Amino acid sequence: MSGKKNMLVTLGFVLSVSLIAAAVSALLVSRHCSRLQFDLLNAVCGEVAEQVPEAKKMIAAALKAYTEGIPDDAMEADVLSELGYHISDFSNFTYEKNVLFVIMGFMLGLLLYFFTYSYRNKIETARIWALAEYLEQVNIGKAVILSTSGEDDFSKLEDEIYKTVTFLYQAKESAVRARNDFAENLANIAHQIKTPITAISLSVQMVKQEPESRHLEQVEKQLLRLTHLEEALLVLSRLDAGTLLLQKNEVDVFTLLVLAADNLQELFVSSGTSIDISELGEMLVIVDLDWTMEAIMNVMKNCMEHNQGGTIHCSYAQNPLYTEILIWDEGAGFAKEDIPHLFERFYRGQNAGAGGIGIGLSLSKEIVERQNGTIRAKNKPHAGAFFEIRFYGH
């Protein structure tokens, strides 16, 4: 019910109650006034009758002429009652007329009350049917946006129904998206597994033909790749299931970067890549040291793959809103069309290194975002890939 209709219904209730109250008040006031008139006249006539007993007949005749001799069953134990007169005989209107007007006002008030009550019920029933019809449309998947009908008793229910329906639609969309993502991830996993298995099969056949060949190294390499894939998939599945617990503590950013670089020292040496970490003083972030270090290592490895033999640079800064970690290289950078997809699972850009599986940056993104952070990638103005990681304080 709209605010205007609700106001009309309320006004109807107020008017009906007012009419009923006015009718009852009129009845009581009329009776009270009649009583006052009767008492006054009774006192006057009593005084006259006491002083002049013969005047009683004259008073009776005068009063009878005034009231037209209308009798009443209720007799009063005083002079006027003895003469056959009653309270109702001395009103400006007769008592019967007063009662008639009171009954009419009372009935009119009741009629207005029941009309207003019926009108309100009719509107409420229409609102209930409208909500029921909306839910039926929801059940068959044809629901549209629920239009508001103003502020009334059903507004809260209407809002909650719409919120619930919206939540259910979002849950449905999320479930469909999750199913599609699962199917896509499953296809990517199958493709990732197929490549090393095929390489292992070919290497095994070559070993059978040439027992002393070096194809065993290829088998070991592909098995190592499968191991890395298995570990990454397990971590991603734990992240998706929400079972990966992150132990957050205060960690110095410089220490975080140095530990990540130390874990990649062998790869840096073998590829001829160096790393430069600026020491800018103590800056603390609240993160899980091991998993955040894993995220940083994946970013550093990505820079190394695109900049073998070059230098990887690391810097950091802090302000009241967030702590920022910057990592960049001096290579050719990313292809423009690859940038929007760099953090997608199993995505491998045009300049991706051989043997990569496209999970590292996706894993880094999951770890950073679960610790109130963001990660972005772009190209530097002149050359080189550039990563920006931010951990927000609140």
Q: Which of 179-183, 286-290, 378-382 has the lowest mean pLDDT?
A: 179-183
Q: C-alpha dihedral over 197, 203, 206, 207, to 10 degrees?
A: -110
φ, ψ of residue 374 to 5 degrees: the values are -135, 155
Of all residues in the chain, the percent with pLDDT exceeding 90 is 19
Q: What's the pLDDT band for 258 if we cut at 50, 70, 90? A: very high
Measured CA to CA, the distance from residue 247 to residue 287 in angstroms comes to 7
Q: What is the pLDDT of residue 115?
A: 74
Measured CA to CA, the distance from residue 361 to residue 380 in angstroms comes to 18
Q: What is the pLDDT of residue 101?
A: 65
Mean pLDDT across the chain: 77
Q: What is the pLDDT of residue 11?
A: 65
Q: What is the pLDDT of residue 195?
A: 65
Write out pLDDT tens, residues 160-172. Answer: 777 887 788 788 7
Q: What is the pLDDT of residue 318?
A: 94
Number of neighbouring beta carbons within 10 Å of residue 48: 15
Report which listed range, 13-17, 124-128, 315-319, 353-357, is most confident.
Answer: 315-319
Q: What is the pLDDT of residue 52?
A: 77
Q: Which of 27-31, 122-126, 212-216, 273-277 has the lowest mean pLDDT?
A: 212-216
Q: What is the pLDDT of residue 72?
A: 46
Statement: residue 10 has pLDDT above 70: no
Q: What is the pLDDT of residue 386?
A: 94
Q: What is the pLDDT of residue 233?
A: 73
Report whether 1 contacts 154 (CB < 8 A): yes
Write out pLDDT tens, residues 313-366. Answer: 999 999 999 999 999 998 888 888 888 888 888 777 766 655 566 788 988 998
Count the residues in the chain: 394
Mean local confidence (pLDDT), 251-273: 91
DSSP alpha helices (H): ranges in the chain? 3-51, 55-67, 79-82, 95-139, 155-209, 215-241, 253-263, 265-271, 289-305, 360-369
**DSSP strand pairing (311-318 vs 274-277):** parallel
pTM: 0.53
Cβ-Cβ contacts under 8 Å for 242 (sequence gap 6 or more): none
Write out pLDDT tens, residues 370-383. Answer: 999 999 999 988 77
More confident residue, 290 or 358: 290
Write out pLDDT tens, residues 200-250. Answer: 777 777 777 776 666 677 777 777 777 777 777 777 777 777 777 888 999
